[in-house]
Structure 1
Amino acid sequence: MIPINTPYRYFRCWLLLGALLALSLAHAQPRLAVFPFAATDARLGVAVADRVAQGVAAPKIAPELALTLVPPYIVQEGRFLSPLTLLGGTESRHAARVLQGALGVEVAVTGAVRLAADGLELTLHVARDDGARSFRFRAPESAPGRLVAAARAAIWATTDLPPRRAPAHIDLASPYGDFVRGLVLLGQGRAAEAAELLERAARAPGAEARFENRRRALRAALAGDPASPPLLRAALALGAQPLDVGGARRAFADAERHAALPLAQLWRALLAVQAGEGAPELEALARGWASYPFGAVQAALEAAVREGSLSAAARAELAATEASAALLGGVLLAQVLADPALEAALASRLGRRLPTFAYPFERVSQLALAADDPLAAAQALRTATRLEPAGPQSDLYWTNLGWAYYLLGVLGESEAASRRALELNPGATVARYNLALVQTISGRLGEALASYEAATERDLAATGTVDAAAIEDLRAARARFPQVAGIDYALATLLEASGEDAAAARALGRFVARAGPRDAPFVAAAEARRAALRAPAPPLELSPPTVGLGPERLAVARFLPGDRVQLLTELSTPGAQLPRRVTLELALRAPSGEVLVRERRTERLALPPQSVAVVLEDLALTLPAGLSPGPYTLLVRAREGGQAAAQVTLEVGEGRASLARQLVASGVVLRDLRTQRPLYAAGPAITPDDPEVADARLLNRLLAELARSAAVAEALPDVTQGRFVGLAGAEVFAASGADDVRDFLTFLLLSGEAVDAPFAELYARWAVAGAPRAPLASP
C-alpha cells in the first residue's frame, strides 16, 4: 500500500521578503539574483547575502526581492504552485538551478550560513545556464565578513559578472544591523515598521549612503510614486493583504516597459490568469523556449489547464529542452494532462539534470508503482532516501520503498524500510500496515497483530474507519502466499475493526481450518472470537447522561455559545458482553426539532472478555457560535447491531464565552512560572460576567506574568520567523502586547488539545515558532 503525497497548491504560496533595489539599477535588465541565505538567525543570512550582492556591479535582483519574484507554476484553473514548495527551500544546488531559470537571469546565487564547531560555515551555490558550482567556506564566528569576501571571489571567478569594491564587514549591533532587520521585517509583510528601521539606520552616525537611497525608495513605493523602482512596487503589491492585483500589474508593466523584462511579462500573465482574464502575454512567452523556457512552459501549462491538451510544437520543445525550471514545469504539465508516459520521461530527465533533487525520483517511483514496476520504483526510491534520509518527505519515501521491496519479495529490506519510516514519523500509519503485513507473512503473527492494532487505532481515531487498502493488501497476500494461514487471522482483525463482522468470522474459520503448528497459540482465541462474531448482536443501554463545561464537567447555570460541553454516560448490555466496537453519535437539537450539530465516531472498546458495562467520559460537543438563548436537547446514541439512546436538556444563555471560560472548557490550564499556581480559577472563569471586562482582566494578568518571567526569556534563541523576528531573549516578552497574547490564546484554543503548563514557557515556544495565528494543517 502506498500513501498519496499532494503538495499544497495555492496562488500565494511564494514567500515575501521585501523589495529594495539600488536606484541606479532599478530599471535595468537584471543579470544576477542573490537569494537570502538560510541561517538560524535570519538577520545573519540576509546580511551575508546582502554584502555578497554588493560585490557585483551588474544589475541585480537583491536578496530582499528574489524570493518574492519567483513566479508560481499554473497547475489548475485559478490555482498555482511555487517552485519553492517543491524545492523545499533555496539552500541547495538544484534549487539554485531552478530559481535561475525561473527568474530568467544569467546567474542565481543561493546558500546557507551555519554555526559549525569551529565557527561559521557558508555553503554557496552559483547557478548558470550551463550548470551550477558549489563551494564551502569557513570563518570565525566573529568575522562573518570573511565569508562575504570568499563568496564574492567565487562568483567573480565562475561568472562574467563585473566585480565591485564594497564593504564586507558585518556588525549587527551597528546601524547596519537596523538596516538588515528592516529588510527582514519587510519579509514579514511589515513594510511600515521596516521603513522606520531603514530611517533609523540612514540617520545614524557613520551610516552607509545606500541606507538613505533605500529608505527613499521604500517610502516612495509605499506612497505609490510611479517613479519608484517598479520591482519594489510589485513586491509590495504582491505582499499586500489582500493581494493588490492592480498595483502589481502596473508595477510589472513599468518594469517591462523600462527593461523588456520577460519575468515581468510572465507575472502580468499570471496575474491575468489568476483574475480569470485573458493573458495575451502568454502568446509571446510561448515562443520563448530559447530565451526564457520557464515562461514558455508556463504558456504550455496554461493551455493544458484550459484546453486539456498539449500542442505538438510544445511537446517537441519539451522533449528537447534541458532547462531545469522548464523540465520541472513539464512534470507538472504531464500531471495536469494525466499523461504518465510523458511525466515519467520528463521526471527521469529532470533527475539526470538535477541529481540532488529528490522530487523527480519520487515521481518516477510513484509512476512505476502505478505501472506495477516495483524494481524501477525501488531504484528511484533508494536514490530519494539517499538524497533526503531524514527530510520532510522522507517517511513517505521510506514507506514506499518498503512497499516496493515487499512487491519484489525482499521481505527483510521491506521491514527495515518500514521501520525507518516509523522512526521518522511514528504516525506513518501506512508504513505500520506494511510492517504488519510483512510480519504476518514472515510467520510472526503476534507481532503483526500488535502492529495492526496500533495502525487501526490511529485510523479509527482519525477517520472512524480502517484503511480499505490495508484490507485489500491482505486479500492479495492470501493469493500470493497461500501457505500462510495467519493472513486470514490478520484479515479478520481488520474486517472486524471496519465493521464487517460476517466476513471477519469467515476469515477466522479459514484460519482455524488451515492453522499449522506455529499458529496453535492463536487457534483458541480465533475460535472464541469467531463464536462472538456469529452470535446475535447484544442489546445496548445508555444511562442518563450528565453534562458540564470542559473535561471536568463543571456545573454551570447556563451554557453559552461556543462552550465545549462534556458528557458522561454508561454504556451497558444485559447480554453476555459488550461489542468490541460501537458507533457513538452526539447531536444537538433545537426546540424546533432541527438538528444543528451532529458528531459521529467509531469507538473500539478495549475491554476484558465478558465486560458488560463501560463508562464513556470523553464525549464532547462544541455549541455553535451565535446560538440563540433557550433550551436545547443533547442526544447521545450508541449503535452496534442494537441501538441505545439517551438525552439531556441544555439551557443556553445569551452572550459569548470569555477567553478564560473558553480555556477552562478546552481543558487549558496556564500556570504561574514561579508558584505553578493557575493564573485563573475555574470558578470565577465560568461565572457570568461581561466578556470584554473578563478578557481585559485576563490579558492584563498574563502580560504581568510575562513581565515577571523575563528570566526565562533570556534563554530563548533569536527569533527567526514571525512577528518577533530579530528579537532575542527578554525583548520578545517586552515587545508583546494584549493582541499578541490574545493571538496566542486563540492558537491554543484552535489546537483543540488540553494543556497544563506554565504560561511563560508555552508563550516562549510559540514566539520562537513564529507566533502563528493558527496550528498548521496537515497536508
Structure 2
Amino acid sequence: MPRPARRLLLILAAAAAAFAPLSAAFAATLAIHPFDSDDTLLGFAVADELAAAFDAPGASELAADVGPSLLVLGPEVAGGAIPPLVADGGFVGLSRVVGGDVMFGPAGADLLRTGLGVDVAVTGRVLVMEDDYRLELQVAGEGGAISATLSAPHGRRDRLVAQAARVVARALAGGTPADAPSAVPTAVGNVPLEGAYATYLTAVVYAAGGLVTDAATVLTGVPAADLSPRAARLKDDLDAVVAGAPVAGAADADPGRLLRRAVLELGLPTFDDVATAAAFARVASATDLPLAYAWAAIMAVSAGDLDGAHEPLALAEAGGYPYAATLAASLASSTGDVEAYRAGLERVVAGEADSGSAALLGASVVAQMAEDTQAEKAALHALGRAAPFLTYTFERLSYIAFDEEDAAAAAGALAVAVQLDPESDLYWTNLGWSYYLLGFLERSEAASLHAVELDANQFIANYNVGLVRSVTGRLAEAVDAYDRAMRLDPSVDDEAIKDLESARSLYPDATSVYYSLGYLYDADGRRAEARTALRTFVRRAGAAGLYPEFVATATQRLVVLDAPPPPLELFGDVVVHLGVRGPEAAPFGPGDTLYPSFEVSTPGDELPATLHVKLALTVAEGSDLEATADSHVPAGAVGYVIDTVGLELPLDLAAGTYELVVTVEGMDGESVSARSSVEVTGSPVDLRRLLGRGVVMTALETSLPLYSAKDLATPDRLVDVLVGELRAGAAAAEQALPAIEGGRFAGLSGGALFSESSADDVRDYLAYLLASDLTDYRFTFVDGYAQWALDGAPEGPLTDP
C-alpha cells in the first residue's frame, strides 16, 4: 500500500526547493468577497473593480505606501477559499453553517478575514435605489470592523468603487484616517455592463460559484484586445487550470496567481487531490501563507492521507492562523483522537477574540458534531464575545437551552437574536415561547403577535398566542388565535395539544385551559378526549359561575360528542379523472394517474375533522394497487368533495376493465365504500402521464403551458411542440449556457444543443422526467432540458428538473 503521508511531505519539500527564491512575506493581504445585489453583474462589477484598484499593476501607488507587496484575493475566489472542517465522511464549510446571506454583513467580513488569515476582508451589498447606487460596505481588519454606507449616481459606478477603495486603504494602513496611505487607489473606470465586459463578469460569477470549467468556456473566443489586464490574467489562469497546465515561467510563478489557480482547481468537476495538494504546497512555499498550508492539509485528508495533514496544519497554526487549530481538532475528532480534539478546542476557546470568529465558529461546529454540548457552549459563548453580530451564535445557544429545558438561557440568547435580526419571525416565535416557559405571559403574547405581524403564515406563533390567552382566561381571543392557526395548517399541531395538556398542571386554576384543550381535541377528531376535557370545563366553570357563554357552547357540543358518530355516506357517483380535477379521459392507459372525485356527506351535525381515504384497484389475482391519504374537513361541514387522492397505474398494466374501490373512514371506525369501473387500453402516453401527475412545462417567452388536456386528441404533437420551443430558444441558449462537457451532447454550445436536439432526444428527456416521482411541478421546459443536457443527459431518475 502506498504511503501518502510521505508523498505529501515530499511534495512540500520539492515545492520549497523549486520556489524558495519567490518566498516573501507580504506587507498585507486583502480578500474581497462578492457583493450581494439584485443585479448580480452590478454587485460583482463593484467587488471586482475594487479588487482591481488594489492589485492591477500601475493602477495605484498603494503598494508603495503599504509595503513591498500586497496579495489580493478577488471575488472570483475569496468566497470559496475558507478551508472546510473535516467531518466524519466528508467536509463542512463555514458559510453553509451560518447561511450564505451572513457573508454579506459585518459578521461575514470577520469570518472571511479570520477564516482566510488575511489582514483585511471586504464584503457588502450593492442596492439599486431610485436615484442612486448604494453600497453597504463591510470591512474587517486587525483594528476591528468598519461599516460604511456609500452612494453614487446611476451610471457612476466608478465613484462607488473609489469611495470604497479609500475605506479599504485606511483599514490596510491601520484603521485610522491619519494612517491612511498618501496615494489612494484609483478606480478602474466605468465600463458599461455589456459586451465583453459583461462576459468577463459572467465568468467571475461562475468562478465564484465553483463552476470553473463554465467560467473558462464563457471567456473562450473573447478577443484579447477586449479584455482588461485583470480579465486577461483571469482568462489565462482559468485556461491553465482547466487544461491542467504545469506551472512554468516567471509569470506563472507569481505568488498571487499561484494561489488563485490553486483555489480555482477546487472548482473543477473532477480534480486530483494529490495534485491540488501540490498546488497549495507551491503557494505555501512561494508565500508562506498559512492558508496555503491549511489547504494542503485538507487536500491530503481528501486524498486519504490523514497523517500527511498534521505537519501543514501545525505550520499554519505556527504562522499565526488560529483557524488551523480548529481544522486540526476537526481532523482529530473525525479519527477518534479525543485527546487531540479536546486540546485543540481548548486552545481555540482559550484564545477568545484572538482566535478569531472563524476558529471559534468552527470549534462550536466540531463540538456539535462530536455531541460535546459543554464544549460547544463554551465555543459559542466565546464566539458571541468575539463576533457579537453573528446571529447563528445566539440561535444555536437558544436551541441548546431549549433542549436542556433552560428557558432563561433560551430567552437571553433569543433577546439578542431579535436585536440582530428583527425581521426574523422564527426568532420572535421562539422568544415568545421562552417567555411563556418563564411565566412572562404578557411578553410572550407580545413577542408571538410580533412574529405574526412579520409573517401572517406563522401558525406556530398563533398557537402560542392561543396558549397564553387560554391560561389567562381570555377564551374568545384564544379560540380566535387557534382558528387562525388551523386555517393556516388544517392539521392540528400535536405540540399545541401537548402544551395545553401541560398547562393543566402549570396553571391548575385556569379552568379555561380545559375548554381550549377540548376544542383542539375535537378539531383533531379525538372525540373521547374532547368529551373528557369539555365535561371537566363545564363542571368547573359552571360551579364557579365562569364563562357562561362557553359553558353553553361546550354543553351543546357534548350532546353531539356523546351521541354515536353519525354515519358516512357517499353522495352521487365516483367520477374518475386524469389528474387533479382533470378531464374524464376514459379509457385510461398504463402510467396514467387516476384521481376519483366523490362527495362524502353525513346526516349528522357534521363530518369528522379528518377522513382517511383509501383507493384500491385489483390488478392481478390477489394483488391490489393501493393509495391512502388523510383529508382534513372544514369545521361544521356536512358534505365535502374529495378529489386530491391519486393512484398511478403501472406501466405494464394489461388492457381490460378494472374495479376501483374507494373507502372513506372516520375517526371512530365509521366507514363507507363505493366502486367504479376503470377501462384501461393501449400503452403509456407521455402527455397523459404529465397531465396526470400535474407536471406542467411552460414556454420561455410567455410562461404559458406548452400543453393541456385539449391536446389529448393528438398526444404525439407534444414532442413537435417541445422541439419547436428548443429551436425558438437557440439564440438565448447560445448566450446563456456554457459548453456541454459530457454525455451525448458533449462539445455542443447552448445554441447548438437547442438547434440540433432531435425528437428522439426530447423523448429521452421526457422518459427521464417521468422516471422520477415528480408531481405537481411547474417549470420552464428549456431550463429543465438544458440542465439535463449539462448533467450529461442521464437516464434518470431526477429529484428536481
Are positions 1:67 and 2:88 aligned together? no
1:434 CA drift (Å) = 0.6
Q: Pick the aligned partner of 1:221 from 238, 241, 245.
A: 241
2:557 equivalent in structure 1: 529
Secondary structure of 2:363's aligned partner:
helix
1:729 aligns to what? none
The answer for the alignment partner of 1:345 in structure 2 is 378
Write the deviation string for residues 249-307 of structure 1: whole angstroms up to 9, x where unpaired.
Answer: 55445544554554344345445656776353046526755522212112212333443
> SS where residue 246 of structure 2 aligns?
coil
Structure 2 SS opposite 1:180: helix
Q: Quick one: percent identity of the two aligned structures?
A: 35
Matches of 1:398 and 1:722, distance apart in 2:
42
2:643 aligns with 617
Matched residue of 1:389: which SS?
A: coil
Residue deviations 1:726-768, cap 9 Å, x none? xxxxxxx99995899999x979x9985588xxx99x999x99x
CA-CA distance at 1:509 after TM superposition: 0.7
What is the one-letter code of the residue matched to 2:239?
R
- d(CA) in 1 for partners of 2:597, 2:344: 64
Amino acid at match of 2:242: L
Paired AA for residue 517 in structure 2: L
Q: Which amino acid aligns with 2:199?
A: D
2:724 pairs with 1:700: yes
Tell me, yes or no, if structure 1 residue 238 matches structure 2 residue 236.
no
Contact 2:24 2:288 in 1 (8 A): no
CA shift, 1:683, in A, is 3.1
**Cα deviation, residue 190, structure 1:** 5.6
Q: Which residue number corresponds to residue 48 of structure 2?
A: 50
Q: Find the residue that maps to 1:401 and give its secondary structure.
A: helix
Do the aligned partners of residues 563 and 271 (structure 1) sit closer, same or farther apart at CA in structure 2, a change above 3 Å counting? farther
Whole-Å separation in 2 of the counterparts to 1:241 and 1:679? 34
- Shift in Å at residue 382 of structure 1? 2.1
Matched residues in 2 for 1:268 and 1:90: separation?
A: 24
Alignment pair present for 1:545 and 2:574 = yes
Change (3 A) 1:136 1:538: closer
Which residue does the alignment assign to 1:384? 417
Higher relative contact order (CA 8 A, sep 6+): 1
Judge conservation of contact 1:188–1:723 (CA < 8 Å) in 2: no
TM-superposed CA distance for 1:397, in Å, is: 0.5
CA–CA distance in structure 1, aligned partners of residues 630 and 134 of structure 2: 52
SS in 1 for 2:620: coil
Q: How far apart are the structure 2 equivalents of 1:652 and 1:253?
A: 67
Find the aligned partners of 2:286 and 2:683 in 1 and give their Cα distance.
58
Task: Write the mapping of 1:107-186 to structure 2, written as runs, cut at 5 A.
Answer: 107-116=120-129, 118-160=131-173, 168-171=188-191, 172-173=193-194, 175-186=196-207
The letter for the 1-side match of 2:161 is V
**Contact in 2 for aligned 1:93/1:127 (Cα 8 Å):** yes
Match of 1:39 in 2: 37
Q: Structure 1 residue 398: deviation in Å?
A: 0.5
For 1:580, the equivalent position in structure 2 comes to: 609
For residues 34-85 of structure 1, the C-alpha deviation after alignment (integer angstroms, 9 at most, x for no partner) is 1112222222222222222223351222210111222333455435243254
Residue in 2 that maps onto 1:362: 395
Distance 2:94 2:489 in 1: 32
Rate the CA distance shift 1:164–1:562 in 2: closer, same or farther, 3 A: farther
Question: What does the per-residue CA deviation read over 1:417-468, in whole Å, with 9 as the maximum and x for residues that have no partner?
Answer: 112222333333321211111122233323322332343455555xxxx433
Tell me, yes or no, if the aligned pair for 2:582 and 2:709 is still in contact at 8 Å: no
CA contact (8 A) 1:198 1:211 kept: no
Paired position in structure 2 for 1:93: 106
CA shift at 1:29, angstroms? 7.7
Contact 2:587 2:679 in 1 (8 A): yes
Tell me which residue corresponds to 1:500.
526
Equivalent residue of 2:54, what SS?
Answer: coil
Moved more, 207-216 or 293-302: 207-216
- Of 579, 598, 601 in structure 1, the residue corresponding to residue 627 of structure 2 is 598
Report the Cα distance in structure 1 between the residues aligned to 2:328 and 2:705, rounded to whole angstroms.
60
Q: Which residue of 2 aligns with 1:476?
A: 502
**Contact 2:273/2:302 (8 A) holds in 1:** no
**CA contact 2:126–2:133 (8 Å) conserved in 1:** yes
Structure 2 residue 591 is matched with structure 1 residue 571: no
Q: How far 1:705 moved relative to its partner?
A: 11
Contact 2:614 2:629 in 1 (8 A): yes
Taking a change above 3 Å as real, the CA distance of residues 255 and 401 of structure 1, as seen in their structure-2 partners, is same
Distance in 2 (alpha carbons) for counterparts of 1:602 and 1:236: 52
1:333 paired residue among 366, 371, 391? 366
Amino acid in structure 2 at the alignment position of 1:113:
V
My pick for the range that moved more, 320-329 or 264-273, is: 264-273
Provide the rounded CA distance (Å) in 1 between the counterparts of 2:754 and 2:350: 57
Q: How many corresponding residue pairs?
A: 709
* Structure index of larger Rg: 2
CA contact (8 A) 2:293 2:312 kept: no
8 Å Cα contact 2:617/2:659 also seen in 1: yes
Give the 5 Å matches for 1:388-537. Answer: 388-390=421-423, 394-456=424-486, 458-460=488-490, 466-515=492-541, 517=545, 519-537=547-565
1:130–1:284: structure 2 CA closer, same or farther, 3 Å change rule? farther
On the 8 A contact 2:216/2:239 being kept in 1, the answer is yes
User: Is contact 1:37–1:45 with CA below 8 Å preserved after alignment?
Assistant: yes
Structure 1: distance between partners of 2:605 and 2:151: 73
- In structure 2, give the amino acid aligned to 1:47: A
Bigger mean CA deviation after superposition, 146-155 or 182-191? 182-191
Give, in whole Å, the separation in 1 of the partners of 2:727 and 2:549: 62
Q: Which whole-Å CA distance do the structure 1 matches of 2:359 and 2:315 have between them?
A: 13
Structure 2: runs of 5 or more not aligned: 1-18, 56-69, 175-180, 740-749
Q: Distance in 2 between matches of 1:56 and 1:704?
A: 44
Do the aligned partners of 1:572 and 1:614 also contact (CA within 8 Å) in 2?
yes
Q: Which moved more, 1:614-623 or 1:658-667?
A: 658-667
Q: 1:220 to 1:634 in 2, by over 3 A?
A: farther
Partner of 1:9: none
1:68-110 C-alpha deviation (Å, 9 max, x unpaired): 2223334554352432540534221211111112122222221
- C-alpha distance in 1 between matches for 2:24 and 2:688: 57
Q: Which amino acid aligns with 1:71?
A: P
- Matches of 1:754 and 1:198 in 2, distance apart? 35
Paired with 1:286 and 1:504, the residues of 2 have a C-alpha distance of 65
Once the two structures are superposed, residues 135-194 of structure 1 have per-residue CA deviations (whole angstroms, 9 ceiling, x without a partner) of 332222222112222222222222259979665212124643432233224445665564
TM-score norm. by structure 2 comes to: 0.76
Counterparts of 1:586-735 in structure 2 under 5 Å?
A: 586-587=615-616, 590-594=619-623, 598-608=627-637, 611=638, 613-623=639-649, 626-630=651-655, 634-640=660-666, 641-648=669-676, 650-651=678-679, 655-658=683-686, 662-663=690-691, 666=694, 680-684=707-711, 686-687=712-713, 689-690=715-716, 693-698=717-722, 700=724
Tell me, yes or no, if structure 1 residue 83 matches structure 2 residue 108.
Answer: no
8 Å contact from structure 1 (residues 553, 565) kept in 2:
no
Q: Determine the C-alpha separation between the residues in 1 that align with 2:299 and 2:152.
A: 44
> Residues 520 and 538 of structure 1: is their aligned pair in 2 closer, same or farther, counting only changes over 3 Å?
same
The one-letter code sitting in structure 2 at the alignment partner of 1:527 is T
How far the C-alpha of 1:597 sits from its partner, in A, is 5.3
SS of alignment partner, residue 585 of structure 1: strand
